[in-house]
Amino acid sequence: MVWRRKNEELNPKNFVGTVTYGGRGVFVWGCMSASELGNLVFFDGIMNHALYSNILKENLKLSAQNLGIGNNFFYQDNDPMHTALNVRLWCLYNCPQNLKTPPQSPDLNPIEHIWRELEVRVRKHDIKTKNSNDGRMDEH
C-alpha cells in the first residue's frame, strides 16, 4: 500500500513495483480441479506464449479427463502469455467456459496456494534444476 497526498498519484515515488519472476531454477506448469491436482509439466527456461500454448494443447484436456471432469470452467490470470492472441484463440475453441480475472489478483487465483506449497517442498528436497528433480516431486 502507498500513502500519498491528493493529486500525487503519478509521482514516481508513489509507485510500487511488482515482481513476476522469482529467479528460481525449476519451472512448472500445473492445473487443478476443486478436489485434485492435474498434470505437472516441468520445463526449461522462461515460459512464453508459444510454450504456454503448447503445454495447454498437450496437457489441459488430458488433465481434465484424468480428473474426471467434463463440464468445467477454465481460469487463468492476466499474465501476458495467457492473453496472447494464439492462446486466446485456442481457449476460445477449447475452453468455452473461461472465467475472467482482474489483473494482479493472486488472492483470487487458487493455484497460487498450490505453487506456495510446491515451493516449500522443492526447497525441502533442495531441487535446483529440472533434472535434479529425479521424480521426487511426482510422489507428492
Amino acid in the structure at residue 101 = T
Which pLDDT belongs to residue 140? Answer: 46
Query: What are the boundaries of each domain within the chain?
Result: 47-124
Calculate the dihedral angle through the C-alpha atoms of 32, 36, 38, 40, rounding to the nearest 10 degrees: 90
Q: Is residue 19 very low, low, confident or very high in pLDDT (cuts 50, 70, 90)?
A: very low
Name the helix (H) or strand (E) containing 93. Answer: helix 85-94
Q: Alpha carbon of 9 to those of 3, 13, 16, 105, 114: distances in Å?
A: 10, 9, 11, 21, 34
Which pLDDT belongs to residue 49? Answer: 92
Cα(76)–Cα(31) distance, rounded to whole angstroms? Answer: 10
Are 96 and 60 in contact by the 8 Å Cβ rule? The answer is: no
Q: For the segment 1-18, what is each residue's pLDDT rounded down to a tens digit?
A: 556 677 776 677 666 555
Which pLDDT belongs to residue 57? Answer: 94
Cα(26)–Cα(5) distance, rounded to whole angstroms? Answer: 42
